[in-house]
Amino acid sequence: MAKDTKLKAMVDRISELPDELLSHILSFLPLNFAYTTGLISKRWKTLCKLMIDLHFDDKLVKGEEEFQRFGRCVDKVMLSPDMNNQPIRGFHLNCCHPELLLFDYDQWIEAAKLRGVQDLQLQLSVFPFKTAYEMSKWESRTKSMEDKFISVAPNNIFSCRTLVILKLERLCVAGNILSVHLPLLKTLHLKSVYLQNSDNLKKLISKSLVLEDLYVMVGYKERASIPLARVDKGPFHVLFKAVYHNLQFLRVQIGHLFFNPYPLSHFIYFLILFFVL
């Protein structure tokens, strides 16, 4: 009896929790399930719309059909009219299915921008393929290594006035970066990211004026135009000149070969790294 009373009291305390705290719990759930909780009660129906950190991860998604559902879920959360007035803080997209290409992910990013995203993280590791068949299906559509990375539109990502954290991993920036507008950006991580050429990196970094934490590991699409011997100190001078007092953390790796799957090239790459650093 006493236990019952105590439980009842606690249940009341749980339901007295402010919406922010309950939606905080929701942000730790798989995203689609967080939305399922809208069925719990009228109050919970509105809670999931208050979630400000949207983390999409397809690591538990198996097969093409399930990915389709995953993609539609992102579509719904990012693009449906009743969601797009809700401000968000974080948008993370962690994808390893090539079927991502069937979706308009640039539009997801655009929607995140419109909703005032501060923390944008994209990790689009379309590799590794599970079967040789999947690999060959992909091969036939693409020509060179960097084409196997998913491409994102540069002007979408590098021009966002609310962004504080930008982490990109395993993707390719399509074309030249025309304009950079990241007035609040403090953290920039480019990890296995393909850019058009080193000018793009210079432009990006020299215009990010309040950077505090920089991690650069990039390759260039125009690698043929840069001789190996000139895996130069050039970019480093630019980096150090461009990124001044604010910077607290800096890690840089710049090479042209590290996407190449052959071990020897890796070896050369690490030699270059050693030399440069």
Binding site for another protein (CB under 8 A): 7-8, 10-11, 13-15, 17, 21, 24-30, 32-33, 35-42, 44-45, 66, 69, 72-73, 76
Of 16 and 245, which CB lies nearer to another protein in the complex structure? Answer: 16
**151 phi and psi, to 5 degrees?**
-100, 140
- Among residues 31 and 117, whose Cβ is nearest to another protein? 31
Q: What is the closest distance, in whole angstroms, from the C-beta atom of residue 25 to another protein in the complex?
A: 5
Q: Shortest distance, CB of residue 23 to another protein, whole angstroms?
A: 10
Smallest distance from the beta carbon of 216 to another protein, in angstroms?
A: 29
Residue 118 · residue 90 · CB < 8 Å: yes
Q: Least distance from C-beta 245 to another protein, angstroms?
A: 29
Please say which residue, 76 or 137, places its beta carbon nearer to another protein.
Answer: 76
CB nearer to another protein: give 54 or 272.
54
77-95 as b/e: b if 16+ CB within 10 A: bbeeeebeeeebbbbbbeb
Contact in structure between 48 and 26 (CB atoms under 8 Å)? yes
Contact 48, 78 (CB under 8 A): no
Instruction: Give, for 15, the enclosing helix (H) or strand (E).
Output: helix 2-16
